[in-house]
Amino acid sequence: MDHELEEIIGTSCGSRELARISDTRMRWDEFGKLVECGFDEVTFEMVPIERRVEVILMKTCHQPDLKTEMRRHLLGAGSGNPSGLHSKPALPRVRWRKIIAFYLIVWTVLVATSAFSAIASAIERTAAEPPKGNQATHFIDRQTKRALPEPPGTVLFVGNSFTFWHEGLWTHMGNLTAARGRDRGAETSRVVRGGASLRVLWKRTKAKQVIAEGNYDIVVLQEDLPETKVSDFHKYAALFDEQAREAGSRLIFFMSWDYQRLNWISMDEIIAEHKRMARKLDVEVAPCGYAWQRAMQERPKVEFYSRDREHQSWYGTILNLYVIYSTIYGESPEALKFSPPKNSQITAEEDAWLRRVAWKSVQSWQQQMKEGS
Give the C-alpha separation, 320 to 173, whole Å: 10
Would you state the pLDDT for residue 269? 96
Kindly write down the DSSP assignment for every residue of 56-121, as one continuous string.
Answer: EEE-----THHHHHHHHHHHTTT---GGGS-SSPPPPPP-HHHHHHHHHHHHHHHHHHHHHHHHHH
Side chain identity at 142, as an amino acid letter?
R
Task: State yes or no: cis peptide before 151, omega within 30 of 0.
Answer: yes
Supply angle C-alpha 335, 285, 177, rounded to 5.
30
- Assign 105 a pLDDT band (cuts: 50, 70, 90): confident
pTM (predicted TM-score)? 0.62
> Is 305 in a helix, a strand, or coil?
strand
Query: Residues 6 or more apart from 154 whose CB is under 8 A from it?
Result: 186, 187, 188, 189, 214, 215, 216, 217, 218
- Assign 348 a pLDDT band (cuts: 50, 70, 90): very high
pLDDT at 235 over 80: yes
Query: Residues 6 or more apart from 295 whose CB is under 8 A from it?
Result: 302, 304, 315, 319, 354, 357, 361
* CB atoms closer than 10 angstroms to residue 238: 15
Would you state the pLDDT for residue 119? 56
Residue range 154-371 in CATH 3.40.1190.10: no
Would you state the pLDDT for residue 334? 95
Q: What is the pLDDT of residues 129-144, one digit of tens each?
A: 333 333 333 444 444 3
Would you state the pLDDT for residue 192? 97
Torsion of CA 167, 168, 171, 174, to 10 degrees: 150
Give the C-alpha separation, 18 to 100, whole Å: 34
Would you state the pLDDT for residue 279? 96
CATH 3.40.50.1110, the chain: domain bounds: 154-371
Give the C-alpha separation, 86 to 70, whole Å: 12
pLDDT at 127 over 70: no
- Assign 197 a pLDDT band (cuts: 50, 70, 90): very high
